[in-house]
Amino acid sequence: MRRPRRRKVGGAVPLAAWLWAAGLVAWAGHCRAGERLVIKGSDTIGAELMPPMREAYIGQGNDASFEIAAEGSATGLMALMEGGKDSCQIAMSSRELSATERLRVKMEGLDFLEIPIARDGIAVVVNARNPVACLTRQQVEEIFAGDIADWSAVGGRAGPIAVYARGASSGTRSTFQKMAMRGRDYASGARKMAGNQQVAAEVASNPNGIGYVGLPYARGRDLRVMRIDGRAPSAESIRDGSYPYSRPLYFFVRGQPKGQAARFVEFVLGPDGQRVVREHGFVPLDGAR
Amino acid sequence: MNEDESAPARGSQVGGHQGEVQAGGEGGLAAALRGSRRGRAFLLVIDSWARTLFGGGAMVAILILVLIMVFLVWEGAGFIPEHHRSLVLYRRTGQEFVDAIRGPLVEHQALNRYLSRVRATDVDEMRKRGVGEAEAGEWLAAFDTFAANFRAAGAPLRSFVDGAAAVALDIKGRSQGWQGSDAAREANRLRELLPGATAALGEFESALRASMASVPASAGRGSEHAWARFRDMSGRLAASIPGAVARATAWDPDRPVPMGESLSAFFLGRRWAADSEWHERYGLLPLLIGSLCISAVAILVAVPFSVAAAIYVSQFATSAERGLIKPTIELIAAIPSIVLGFFGITVLGSGIQWLSGQPWMSWVPFFPVTERLNIFTAGLMLALMASPTIFTLAEDALRGVPVQFEEGSLALGATRFQTAVRMVVPAALSGIIAAVLLGFGRIVGETMVVLLVAGNRLEIPDFTQGFGALFQPAHTMTGIIAQELGEAPGGSLHYRALFMVGLTLFVMVLMINCATEMVLRRFHRMRG
């Protein structure tokens, strides 16, 4: 009886030692993380553009480890405001700073730098089975605000319109609200989806669905991109501004970026980065070769 | 715990504290008898250590629970004054005034939506009756003219409201740096709009009544009811306009808002609009109703299956069957909920959609289902998640029924089925109820699956469609917290509203657990 008990008591000391050692290792790892690049924010940028950008960057022989979290522009901007350098170095955003964010940056004296990295169109998509091919901007506003609730009102087959919007943390959501809806509230029946991909998947499965996604996401057998006022979104129509719903995508950093972050930003803005932008369906910046 | 493990199996089956202490004492005694005096002293030291350790663990658990409660209440309580301030602002900057004028317009929009549903019923009706192409076309043309007229009746009022809303938004934008006299001056800007509003509303009323004079005849008996309802609702809308005028006239920016309204607007609010430039609304009802609908579906599906399985396994199954069924069902609990959610979207959701589109299913009134993310799918997934909980606990309760009950019943000549249904199940009923309640608690609190599968529409389901409402998307209390907490700035009204939702959820689950506890206590008293 006594033996096993003794062994158990003795076991506690090495256990504590192990825990302590593990903690030490974790702490040491934390200290080393200065080399790591933490990028947070927009789903539009983070899901489609950042992974190939990272590959290209590392492919050029840069030794960096990335941590990318793409849960919506607001999350990245908030992390950049609140955290120190460890929690977020670059915030991706598909919109400019909101009024409250600008106020906060000013009040806390944060040195925010806004760096446009690409342009992107927001495509209005419907199910491929939907006969409607073109909408006016007025109609888009009325559909997303809930004034028009049936496809027959815009020349389609009768059926209740199912609006798929993005969740509240999305920059695409608020950009679209400003650009396409004159800042009006979304219809109360609008579904809130977590990402571009989810909007695309649901619209593809629902014959009465309509939604908006970043242009690179607007592909798939069961999806159709709407022409707006007769204009389809494309690299040309976005660059010359004839497609109404286009916007710049941004990086936000605090102060002049240094070290790894500076090199990465420079890479993204350089010819190689802008090539990645083009290859993945976004529109490069004007000055880019 | 060594003592416990070595304690002879004859130790009390009750478990619990009493059993442990007894077993510990016994083990220590045996060792002391065998060992030296020093050994016994050592044992006693260990004993007191163990007591401190375990007691400390329990204390920490209780402490953390209290901390969570304090934290929730602390963050949530700030909501009440903050929300009150927002409601005061809503009144002072004239949003309330504009919304009073806008009210009939919102109703009018709902009627327009209803009208397109009536059209669909009518078209259906004509197809059923085999009406000729020409006649149907003629009828549709008449209908569309009417619908266009009806819609156009709202246009002048809408443009007026748009103008007034712009003024109110402008006032709101400048309300930050207000001095005492500014508010009154700004309010006058809106008051000057009142004659125009009265006129626009009057015009709307007459246009509405005029267009109602030419309602087309219904296309058949099947849609007569829908038309009657439409007439009724538009009559009521026209009659409600003087009320809107009165509300707009009575608007007074300085009338105080009672504190209680802050709470009632939360618990009875029908709209949740967090990112609204106009006025942020935090109404719990769409979330609460969504959560309850999904839970109801889940419970209705999970209970019969899992209780039946529990009865089977405890009463009829051979030990080999039991060895197969029990671990399998319990394995469901081991599947990560994100995996289940993914399954729910791609397999179950699409499967139900496909099934409802089959020709032989077309007799169901609300099929085919257009939305694959809906209340029903989410309910089914949650039923799957809750069934291990309900099954395991119900099975335990059933097996806890003393074997003498069963033997007595069998000896009196009852069959196994009669014994199970009339003897064992009633004896274990409170245990089964407790199992169901705990399963319910699990369902209400589940987050990931509903976030992925429920469709996240912030609107109360349209119950006028009967069971069709089950195939509409909904949002839930857990889902909204998961979705929006990440972007709500700390300390903002939105953030606090989410905490209020969390607090409500916590109280709900707490009440369910208390109910379970009460039921179980009764169960023990009966057994004891």
Residue B411 has pLDDT above 70, yes or no: yes
Residues B85 and B69 occupy one common structural domain = no
Domain-terminating residue out of B51, B77, B103: B77
Residues B246 and B317 occupy one common structural domain = no
Helices (H) and strands (E) in chain B, counts: 23, 2
The verdict on residue B202 lying in a domain is yes
Residue B18 has pLDDT above 60, yes or no: no
The verdict on residue B276 lying in a domain is no
Q: What is the CATH number of the domain that holds B341?
A: 1.10.3720.10
CB environment A222-252: b (16+ within 10 A), e (fewer): bbbbbebeeeebebebbbeeebbbbbbbbbb
Q: ω before A160 within 30° of 0 (cis)?
A: no
Could you tell me if B463 and B457 are in contact, meaning their C-beta atoms sit under 8 angstroms apart?
no
Point out the least confidently predicted range of A140-154, B173-187, B192-206.
B173-187
Cα dihedral B493, B255, B169, B111 sign: positive
Report, in angstroms and rounded to the nearest whole number, the Rg of chain A calculated over CA atoms.
24
Residue B112 has pLDDT above 80, yes or no: yes
Residues ≥6 apart with Cβ < 8 Å to A277: A49, A117, A118, A268, A283, A284, A285, A288
Q: Which of A147, A167, A185 sits opposite B273 (nearest CB)?
A: A185
Is B14 buried (19+), middle (13-18) or exposed (0-12) by CB count in 10 A?
exposed
* CA pair distance A173, B15, nearest whole angstrom: 56
SS3 A160: strand
Q: State which residues form the domain around B20.
A: 2-77
Could you tell me if A120 and A283 are in contact, meaning their C-beta atoms sit under 8 angstroms apart?
yes
Contact B456 A207 (CB under 8 A): no
Residues B29 and B122 occupy one common structural domain = no
Contact B2 A4 (CB under 8 A): yes
B5 touches chain A (CB under 8 A): no
Contact A2 B39 (CB under 8 A): yes
Structure tokens at A119: 């342009």
Q: Of chain B residues 131-170, which have a CB less than 8 A from chain A?
A: none
Average pLDDT for A111-120: 87
Long-range own/partner contacts, residues B359-365 (CB < 8 A, 24 or more apart): B365/B466, B365/B468
Question: What letter represents residue B303's amino acid?
Answer: V
* CA pair distance A214, B276, nearest whole angstrom: 22
Average pLDDT for B476-486: 88
Residues B66 and B84 occupy one common structural domain = no
Residue B356 has pLDDT above 70, yes or no: yes
Measured CA distances, B330 to B389, B479, B483 (Å):
8, 25, 30
Residue B381 has pLDDT above 90, yes or no: yes
A78 touches chain B (CB under 8 A): yes
Residues B370 and B494 occupy one common structural domain = yes
Residue keyed to tokens 């809806």: A181
Residues B132 and B155 occupy one common structural domain = yes
Q: Are strands A112-127 and A246-254 parallel, antiparallel or unpaired?
A: antiparallel
Structure tokens at A132: 């409607």
Contact A168 B274 (CB under 8 A): yes
Closest among B300, B460, B447, B482 to B376, alpha carbons compared: B300
* CA pair distance A66, A33, nearest whole angstrom: 10
Contact A78 B487 (CB under 8 A): yes
Residues B161 and B38 occupy one common structural domain = no
> Which candidate in B36, B40, B116, B342 is best for mutational testing of the A interface (most A CBs within 10 A)?
B116
What band does B439 get if pLDDT is binned at 50, 70 and 90? very high
A173 touches chain B (CB under 8 A): yes
Could you tell me if A154 and A161 are in contact, meaning their C-beta atoms sit under 8 angstroms apart?
no
Residue-level length of chain A: 289
Residues B404 and B462 occupy one common structural domain = yes
Is A174 buried (19+), middle (13-18) or exposed (0-12) by CB count in 10 A?
buried
Domain-terminating residue out of B44, B62, B77: B77
Contact B2 A162 (CB under 8 A): no
Q: What is the pLDDT of residues A12-56, one digit of tens each?
A: 455 555 666 656 555 554 444 446 788 888 888 888 888 888 888
The verdict on residue B279 lying in a domain is no
Residues ≥6 apart with Cβ < 8 Å to A94: A42, A44, A45, A73, A120, A170, A171, A172, A175, A214, A247, A249, A250
Q: Which of B34, B116, B456 sits opposite A192 (nearest CB)?
A: B456
Cross-strand bridge partners of residue A251: A92, A115
E strand or H helix at B442: helix B429-445
Q: Are strands A162-166 and A209-214 parallel, antiparallel or unpaired?
A: parallel
- Nearest chain A Cα distance for residue B424, angstroms: 43
Across chain A, what does the average pLDDT equal? 81
The verdict on residue B442 lying in a domain is yes
B322 touches chain A (CB under 8 A): no
Average pLDDT for B24-36: 57
ipTM of the assembly?
0.71
Cα dihedral B459, B463, B464, B468 sign: positive
- Count of domains observed in chain B: 3
Residues B183 and B321 occupy one common structural domain = no
The verdict on residue B291 lying in a domain is no
A220 touches chain B (CB under 8 A): no
What band does B9 get if pLDDT is binned at 50, 70 and 90? very low
Residue-level length of chain B: 528
* CA pair distance A276, A282, nearest whole angstrom: 9
Residue keyed to tokens 């009950």: B405
Angle subtended by helix axes B493-527 and B477-484, to nearest 10: 140
Q: What is the pLDDT of residues B268-307, one digit of tens each?
A: 988 888 877 788 889 999 999 999 999 999 999 999 999 9
Residues B110 and B130 occupy one common structural domain = yes
The verdict on residue B495 lying in a domain is yes
Average pLDDT for B154-182: 79
**Domains in chain A with CATH codes:** 35-119+248-279 (3.40.190.10), 121-239 (3.40.190.10)
User: Which chain B positions have a beta carbon within 8 Å of A158's beta carbon?
Assistant: 116, 119-120, 123
Contact A5 B273 (CB under 8 A): no
Q: H/E/C letters for each residue in B292-309?
A: HHHHHHHHHHHHHHHHHH
Closest among A159, A259, A142 to A209, alpha carbons compared: A159
Could you tell me if B395 and B305 are in contact, meaning their C-beta atoms sit under 8 angstroms apart?
no
E strand or H helix at A92: strand A90-93
Nearest residue in B to A3, CA atom: B2
- Nearest chain B Cα distance for residue A170, angstroms: 9
The verdict on residue B289 lying in a domain is no
The phi, psi pair for A113, rounded to 5°, reads -115, 130
SS3 B355: helix
Question: What letter represents residue A12's amino acid?
Answer: A
Residues B436 and B506 occupy one common structural domain = yes
Residues B468, B474, B475: CA angle, nearest 5 degrees: 165
The verdict on residue B284 lying in a domain is no
Contact A205 B353 (CB under 8 A): yes
Contact A100 B489 (CB under 8 A): yes
Model pLDDT, residue A67? 86
Structure tokens at B44: 């006693």
Model pLDDT, residue A5? 42
Q: What is the pLDDT of residues A212-258, one digit of tens each?
A: 988 888 888 889 999 988 888 888 888 887 888 888 889 998 888 88
Residue keyed to tokens 């000896």: B411
Domain-terminating residue out of B196, B220, B252: B252
Residues B73 and B85 occupy one common structural domain = no
* Count of CB pairs separated by less than 8 Å, A with B: 106
SS3 A208: coil
Model pLDDT, residue B181? 63
Q: Of chain B residues 70-129, which have a CB less than 8 A from chain A?
A: 109, 112-113, 116-117, 119-120, 123
Average pLDDT for B490-517: 90
